[in-house]
């Protein structure tokens, strides 16, 4: 009888490989619809107040000059690229949990967003986009 010692880390590593494989397949499907292959999807928070709408996009490791914002109609598109901090041709990583490469996020802004007031700042890996809201009178036309 051959007895093998059970190592719980083997189970976690196997699970991690499976999750990475599924995530890679998901990203490949998204990339196939775009002319630029998507390598990672930055997380975003959208916060609305009575005065404005703010979009916070987490872009650690992205150089500000590599970020492109465009607005068409009420659609905000943020594109860019995050480069690997190591030379992939000379170094062989043992584990890679970060994603590098092209990214693109699109957000539909509500009609009350005044796009002429759009302002963007980038600090500590967080892109913050602020758009003021147009305030409309709540009075009826007869008053």
Q: Where are the domains of the chain?
A: 8-36, 39-85+100-137
Please provide the CATH number assigned to the domain covering 39-85+100-137.
Answer: 2.60.40.790
**Which residues fall within 8 angstroms of residue 120, CB to CB, at 6 or more apart?**
69, 127, 128, 129, 130
Mean pLDDT of 62-83: 92
Comparing 36 with 10, which gets the higher pLDDT?
A: 10
CA atoms of 86 and 42, how far apart (whole Å):
20
State residue 29's pLDDT score. 62
The structure's pTM equals 0.67
For residue 103, what are the contacts with CB-CB under 8 A and spacing of at least 6? 38, 39, 40, 41, 42, 78, 79, 80, 81, 82
CA-to-CA distance for 8 and 28, rounded, in angstroms? 31
Q: At residue 78, does pLDDT exceed 90?
A: yes
Report whether pLDDT(28) > 70: no
Q: Token digits for 116?
A: 């002429």
- Strand pairing category for 126-132 and 119-123: antiparallel
- Among 123, 80, 116, 82, CA closest to 99: 82
């Amino acid at each position: 009888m051959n007895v093998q010692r059970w190592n719980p880390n083997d189970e976690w590593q196997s699970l991690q490989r499976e999750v990475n494989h599924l995530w890679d397949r998901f990203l490949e499907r998204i990339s196939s619809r775009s002319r630029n292959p998507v390598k990672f999807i930055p997380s975003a928070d959208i916060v609305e107040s009575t005065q404005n709408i703010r979009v916070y996009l987490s872009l650690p490791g992205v150089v500000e000059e590599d970020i492109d914002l465009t607005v068409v109609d009420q659609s905000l598109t943020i594109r860019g690229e995050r480069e690997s901090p190591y030379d992939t041709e000379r170094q062989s990583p043992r584990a890679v949990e970060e994603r590098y490469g092209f990214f693109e996020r699109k957000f539909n802004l509500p009609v009350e967003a005044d796009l002429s007031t759009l302002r963007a700042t980038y600090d500590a890996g967080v892109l913050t986009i602020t758009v003021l809201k147009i305030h409309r009178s709540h009075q009826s036309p007869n008053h």
